[in-house]
Amino acid sequence: MKLNYKIQGNGQPILFLHGMFGSLDNLNMLAKEFVLNFQTIQVDLRNHGLSPWSNEMNYEVMAEDVATLCQHLQLKNLIVVGHSMGGKVAMQLMQIIPDIIEKVVVIDIAPVKYVKSPNLNVIEALKQCDLQQVTDKKHIMDIMKQQGIDLATSYFLLKSFKDGHWLFNSRIIVKQYSDLCDWHSNGEPCKKPILFIRGENSTYITDEYVNTIMAQFPNAKIVTVAGAGHNVHAEKTEQVLEILHDFIMN
C-alpha cells in the first residue's frame, strides 16, 4: 500500500507515526522543531488521513506499509517516533527492518495486549454514529457526551470529520479494534536504543508493564512527564521536545 506522507528538510531521517483516529499533522508540533537539522517524514497510516483504506488492519500490515515507504525513500540510519498506535507500528518496524533503524521513540504505549482500553467509549460512539448515519458535528457531540467522552477527545475526533464523513475508516477500526489492542512479539529481544515517554496520568504505560518492556527491549529507557495524560506530546510539548533532543542527539 502506498501511504500518503509529507517530507521536509535534509539530513538524518526522522519518521513520525501518529496515533489512532489521527493523521500525519498530529505530531507536527514535534516534527517542525527538527526540520532545520533533519529530514522529517510524517506519514498517514492506512485507514487514516489521505492514505488508502483497507479491510485489513493490524500491526503487521501497517508496519509493512511503512517499511515499503522506507525502502522507496531509501532511508538509512532512521529514527522513528510513534505515538500510541504509531508507537506499536514503530516497535513492529524494529522487528522487520532493524538494519535501517538507529533509534526509536515510543510515546505512551507499551508492547502489551490491552484488555481494558480507554478507547472503548470512543469505539461505542463510532458504532452509534454509523448506526444512526450521522452527518453533522452537533449530533456527533451529543453521542460523544452520552458515551462520557471528554471535550478534548471529542474535539480531537471532530478534526477528522469533514463534509459529513470521517477521514479515518471508522467501520474497519471498530471491526479490527481487538487487533489494534493486541501485540505480538517475535520473541527475540531487540537491543537497539528505544525511549518510552509516558504521561504521569496515563494508564497506557503503568509500572506493571515495565518488566515486559525491558524483556523485549533490554536497552529501553522510560521517562515520565509529570502532569500529562495520553497525549503527552500535545499537553507538554516543550518537555517532550527536550526529552527527544536529548535522546536523539546523544
Q: What range does the domain containing 70 cover?
A: 5-111+184-249
What pLDDT is recorded for position 116? 81
Query: Residue 180, exposed/middle/buried by CB under 10 A (0-12, 13-18, 19+)?
Result: buried
Q: Write the CATH number for 60.
A: 3.40.50.1820
Same structural domain, 243 and 190: yes
Same structural domain, 127 and 93: no
Q: Of 148, 175, 202, which residue constitutes the final position of a domain?
A: 175
What pLDDT is recorded for position 186? 81
**What does the alpha-carbon distance between residue 124 and residue 101 come to, in Å, rounded to a whole number?**
37
**What does the alpha-carbon distance between residue 209 and residue 230 come to, in Å, rounded to a whole number?**
15
What pLDDT is recorded for position 250? 86
Question: What are the strands, taking DSSP E only, across 11-130?
Answer: 13-17, 39-43, 78-83, 101-107
Residue type, 117: S
Same structural domain, 149 and 213: no
Domain count along the chain: 2
Same structural domain, 102 and 128: no
Q: Known catalytic residues?
A: 84, 230
pTM beyond 0.85: the answer is yes
What pLDDT is recorded for position 187? 79
Q: Please, what is the angle between helix 137-146 and helix 120-131, to 10°?
A: 130
Same structural domain, 95 and 156: no
Mean pLDDT of each 10-residue bin along the chain, 250 residues long: 97 98 96 97 97 97 98 97 98 96 98 90 96 94 95 93 94 96 90 97 96 97 97 97 96
